[in-house]
Amino acid sequence: MSKSPRPADIYLRFLNLMDALRALPALPPLDPLEERILAVVGRARQLEERLSVRDLMGQDGLGAPATIHARITSMRKKGWLVLGDTEDSRRKQVDLTPAALAYFDELSGLMLKAAKGS
């Protein structure tokens, strides 16, 4: 008889699957701050909210504006983020690349796989 997995078991299985995904040759890895920035941009996109570089720099807990700007530049070079024009040429909108969206799709699949226990 199989006992039900604890919620922690499901989460830990997801973390193991996520580590395996990160080991695949896709986009270059992100540091912890870049991962937080990616999550902020992803949530804004999911909510269909526009997010400018300035908006991102104003987020609590991400660090100093210069640090955030450096990470945005790094993430653009790595292929995770793109900047788009807005009606004000001085403001740039931050968005995910198609490769970053595919990464989120893969993570979603891993969550489902972890929950199924397979």
Taking the C-alpha atoms of residue 67 and residue 94, their distance in angstroms, rounded to an integer, is: 16
Q: Please say if the pLDDT value at position 6 is more than 70.
A: yes
pLDDT for 27-40, tens place per residue? 788 899 999 999 99
What was the pLDDT predicted at 97?
93
Task: State mean pLDDT over 99-118.
Answer: 81
pLDDT for 42-87, tens place per residue? 999 999 998 999 999 988 889 899 999 999 999 999 999 999 887 7
Beta-carbon contacts of 10 under 8 Å, excluding residues fewer than 6 positions away, are 114, 115, 117
Q: What stretches of 1-118 show up as alpha helix (H) in DSSP?
A: 7-23, 32-46, 53-57, 65-78, 98-116
How many domains are contained in the chain?
1
Q: Which CATH number belongs to the domain containing residue 14 in this structure? A: 1.10.10.10
Task: Please give the residue range of the domain that contains residue 71.
Answer: 7-116
- Token pair 């991102």: residue: 56
Asked whether residue 2 is domain-assigned, the answer is no
Beta-carbon contacts of 40 under 8 Å, excluding residues fewer than 6 positions away, are 51, 56, 59, 62
